[in-house]
Amino acid sequence: MSYAASEPQGLSWPSIARLGLVQAGIGAVVVLMTSTLNRVMVVELGLLAAIPGLLVGVHFAVQILRPRMGFGSDRDGRRITWIVGGMALTSLSGLGAAAATAWMTTSPRAGLAAAVVAFFLLGVGVSAGSTPFLAYMAERVPEQRMAGAAALTWILMIAGIIVTATVAGSFLDPYSPTRLVQVAFGVTGAAFVLTLIGVAGRSGSEPIHLRPSESSAPFKEVLDSMWADPQSRAFATFIFLSMLAYSAQDIILEPYAGAVFGLTPGESTKIAGLQHGGVLLGMIAGAVGAARWGTLPRWAAAGCAASALALLALVAMPATGSVQGMKAAVFGLGLANGVFAVAAIGAMMGLTVRGKAGGAGLRMGFWGAAQAIAYGLGGVLGAVGSDVARSTLGSASAGYSAVFMAEAILFTAAAVLVLTRVREGSVRRYDALRQAGEAMAVGG
């Protein structure tokens, strides 16, 4: 029996949850790249924070290809093939990046060159796998379930990040280059297996949201039409600002914990797990709250404002010397990030269905490119900014604090933008979000 026949009303909650394993695999590889390898390069290898920042920037800069790859999957309709192929390249590139980092111990230049190639291919893999995955979901999830589906799949991604950060942190101590590669092999292999489980049997599922055919229109023409839509443009700008703020701290948080508070590689990796644990709870809280009060743009703005406050707390922590206070601020930052993320993702799903131009792949690629460019730029600016500020101000804590302060300003600007430029009527609250929120509230 085909899935199209058994699920005529679109993907069921169990099907959405199983597909979410793809997101869990992506999260596992990403946290290895942005947290673990970043920490090893800065602390164990003694490199400038700008080096891992630039490498992560390469990975995200390549994701400018997301709209083009989404458009390609719109044309051929083989989204499952794109997902599996993209995740295969993502996993292999993640392992290659870890091996290149280990190589830097004995041959810094050769290891760095290999790392550039690995991070470049990682960006290609993520673009080819993630964008068709999001388009596949948007086409097959009933409109009344979209926000809840977005929350569920991203919660699974955060769960993958938490498990990876915790397990990798435990196995990395005591650190050695060989141990780093072994841990990376386990993480990337598990990520690909999760992908295969997630998409097994899905190739026969038919879309339930069909947009007008634009098969004869060239890519640039369709992309220009989407950019001309004021709501699409305003939302892309909001995504850019908020992700720029988020990513600037993501690349320096573990070095901050190690350099300012003296944490070991395993301990600082667990800091990333603590942050993402906060994100997980924040997404649940955001789903519950948006189900009962307010609108998605207002919850997105509230999450941005709370993120700014948490960053100001991180600015204050070095003066107190409190490791527990720092951990509390990191957890609070994750909590606030989770609130704005679930609201933004729900809005993204809705705008994909109701937009005026482009197929689901192109539209998801449009949002994804805005996110990726901001994330890569933020990583570079955060790393370079911390180095410059540390040199200028004379201390590591002052350098990191300057970056955290800049991020707080960006989050505030994003909150203002989403409140004033994104029409609430264009991003509806769905009954399924209410139902999912009520289920979460009672532990269901």
Mean pLDDT to the nearest integer, 387-406? 74
Question: Is the pLDDT confidence value at 69 over 80?
Answer: yes
Q: 9 pLDDT band (50/70/90 cuts)?
A: low
The CATH class for the domain spanning 10-205+217-441 reads mainly alpha
Mean pLDDT to the nearest integer, 142-164? 75
Question: Is the pLDDT confidence value at 233 over 70?
Answer: yes
SS3 content of the chain, % helix, strand, coil (to 5): 85, 0, 15
**What's the pLDDT tens digit per position in 111-148?**
999 999 999 999 999 889 888 888 888 778 776 676 67
pLDDT at 134: 84
Express as a percent the part of the chain with pLDDT over 70: 81
Nearest to 398 by CA among 316, 323, 311: 316
Instruction: Give the three-class secondary structure for 127.
Output: helix
Mean pLDDT, the chain, whole residue set: 78
Whole-model pTM over 0.85: no
Exposed, middle or buried, 14 (CB in 10 Å: 0-12/13-18/19+)?
A: exposed
Question: Is the pLDDT confidence value at 261 over 80?
Answer: no
In whole angstroms, what is the distance from residue 393 CA to residue 297 CA?
Answer: 38
Q: 435 pLDDT band (50/70/90 cuts)?
A: very low
Q: What is the DSSP letter of 321?
A: T
In whole angstroms, what is the distance from residue 398 CA to residue 317 CA?
Answer: 11
